[in-house]
Copies of this chain bind each other. A is one copy, B any other.
Amino acid sequence: MTAHPRLSMNVATIKYAPFEDSLRVLLDAGYESVGLWREPVAELGLDEATKRFADSGLRLSTLCRQGFFTMEEGAARRASIDENRRAIAETATLAAAGAPRSRAVLVLVAGGLPEGSRDLVGARARIADALEELAPEASAAGVTLAIEPLHPMYASDRAVVSTLKQALDLAAPFAPETVGVTVDTFHIWWDPEAEAQIERAGREGRIATYQVCDWATPLPADVLLSRHYPGDGVIDFGTFTRAVEATGYAGDIEVEIFNQQIWDAPWAEVARRTAETFDAAVAPHLASVPAGA
- 4 closest A-B pairs by CB: A155-B190, A153-B153, A152-B190, A221-B221
The verdict on A157 contacting chain B, using a C-beta distance below 8 Å, is yes
> Do residues B118 and A235 form an inter-chain contact, with CB atoms below 8 A?
yes
Given contacts A153-B219, A155-B189, A223-B223, could you give 11 more A-B pairs where the C-beta distance is less than 8 Å? A118-B236, A152-B153, A155-B190, A156-B190, A156-B216, A160-B190, A162-B191, A163-B191, A165-B192, A166-B192, A221-B221
Chain B contacts for A236, CB-based, 8 A = 118-120
CA A239 – CA B160 in complex, angstroms?
17
15 contacts between A and B (CB under 8 A): A117-B234, A119-B236, A151-B153, A152-B152, A152-B191, A153-B223, A155-B190, A156-B190, A156-B233, A157-B218, A160-B190, A163-B191, A219-B219, A221-B221, A223-B223
The verdict on A217 contacting chain B, using a C-beta distance below 8 Å, is yes
Instruction: State which residues 111-143 of A face B: CB under 8 Å.
Output: 113, 117-121, 124
CA A216 – CA B121 in complex, angstroms?
17
Partner of A118, one of B118, B124, B160, B234: B234
Q: State the Cβ distance, A266 to closest chain B Cβ, in Å.
A: 28
- The chain B residue sitting closest to A234, CB to CB, is B156
The verdict on A215 contacting chain B, using a C-beta distance below 8 Å, is yes
Tally of chain A residues near chain B (CB < 8 A): 35
Chain B contacts for A155, CB-based, 8 A = 189-190
CA A136 – CA B208 in complex, angstroms?
48
> Do residues B215 and A219 form an inter-chain contact, with CB atoms below 8 A?
no
- The chain B residue sitting closest to A163, CB to CB, is B192
Instruction: State which residues 90-127 of A face B: CB under 8 Å.
Output: 113, 117-121, 124
Chain B contacts for A192, CB-based, 8 A = 124, 162-163, 165-166
Among the interface residues A162, A166, A223, which one has the most CB atoms of the partner chain B within 10 A? A223
CA A119 – CA B166 in complex, angstroms?
25
> Do residues B190 and A120 form an inter-chain contact, with CB atoms below 8 A?
yes
CA A118 – CA B237 in complex, angstroms?
9
Chain B contacts for A121, CB-based, 8 A = 239
Q: State the Cβ distance, A71 to closest chain B Cβ, in Å.
A: 15
Instruction: State which residues 215-231 of A face B: CB under 8 Å.
Output: 215-219, 221-223
Among the interface residues A119, A120, A216, A233, which one has the most CB atoms of the partner chain B within 10 A? A120
Chain B contacts for A151, CB-based, 8 A = 152-153
CA A223 – CA B154 in complex, angstroms?
13
Chain B contacts for A189, CB-based, 8 A = 120, 155
Chain B contacts for A119, CB-based, 8 A = 236
